Amino acid sequence: MHSNNLVVIILTYNQRQKTLKCLSTLLGGKDIPFKVLVWDNNSRDDTLAVIKKTFPNVLTYYSQSNLGVAEGRNAAGTMAIRELGATHLLFLDNDIEVEAGFVKALYEPFESDIDLGQTQAKLRFMHDRSLINDGGGARISFVFWRVKPVGFEETDRGQYDAPRPCISCGGAMMVRSDVFQQLNGFDPLFGPFGPEDLDFSLRLQKAGYQAMYAPKAVGYHQVSHTYGEGYSEEYARHKSRHWLLFMRRHASLREKLAFYIFGAPILLVQVFFREAKRGNLGAIRGLAQGIVNTKRQAK
């Protein structure tokens, strides 16, 4: 069907069962030819040993340190291009199970559009497969510090079944290898906690390429929150710093002014009272630290 070399990249870290289930659905259905590279970010649960036994054709690499998402994907992408001759890279989170033909559906739009640099899958929730997790990338409000996937938590009635341009999220997206190299991959400046994926898609579009939502590629996402119940000091520090850097890089002058005049004061008051009520002074401290340190991290 095609002469390109497609490589699916899956990162894992102490999530053996999720990774095995992801691989089972990815490799268990009819699809076009592709290779799989599992990059293990220094797990301690023998993930790769089980993968090698269960899926002997899956390529694996064990990192001696946890590189995180952005740098782990960059390292895996570089390896796939250098050693496997990848022309297209599909970055797939290991907590996603996919329907048959997933890779084909993400690849097909590239065959008819020379300006296309990236495609994005449709994701439904794992816990309720009738609900949409991502129906066409992200909607971003720079003014009020909001990022929300298209169709989030809506019942899927086919309302997002038409391909459309999008700002792609990184959990299930394919990118041309030459474009990935041109952009130097994901920016590790946004690690951990993101939004390295949104930054990548926006940089891709600024470079003259298109990002397209491909609704025929359907996956089911087991949404989890690593930092879970609390709004920790570390989380608040990183998130505030990353948002200001992200906004500085991609927001318009009008959006930046509106954020500092309207959005930021409202958000600061909301966070202060919410976390003070919880007795979570660390989150307030982390938020302030992130804002203060942004200038030093911007360059």
Tell me, yes or no, whether 215 and 240 share the same domain: no
Per-residue pLDDT of the chain (299 residues; tens, 9 = 90+): 456 899 999 999 999 999 999 999 999 989 999 999 999 999 999 999 999 999 999 999 999 999 999 999 999 999 999 999 999 999 999 999 999 999 999 999 999 999 999 999 999 999 999 999 999 999 999 999 899 999 999 999 999 999 999 999 989 999 999 999 999 999 999 988 789 999 999 999 999 999 999 999 999 999 864 433 456 777 777 788 888 999 999 999 999 999 989 988 888 788 778 777 777 777 667 666 666 666 454 44
Query: CA–CA separation, 40 vs 271, rounded Å?
Result: 36
Tokens of 183: 């952009």
Which structural domain, as residue segments, surrounds residue 284?
Answer: 233-297
Tell me, yes or no, whether 25 and 77 share the same domain.
yes
pTM: 0.91
Q: Is the same domain home to 197 and 259? A: no
**208 and 274 fall within a common domain:** no
Q: In the chain, where do the E strands start and end?
A: 6-12, 35-40, 59-62, 88-92, 96-98, 116-125, 132-134, 138-141, 146-149, 164-165, 172-176, 210-221
Please tell me whether residues 165 and 240 are part of one structural domain: no
Give the number of domains in the chain. 2
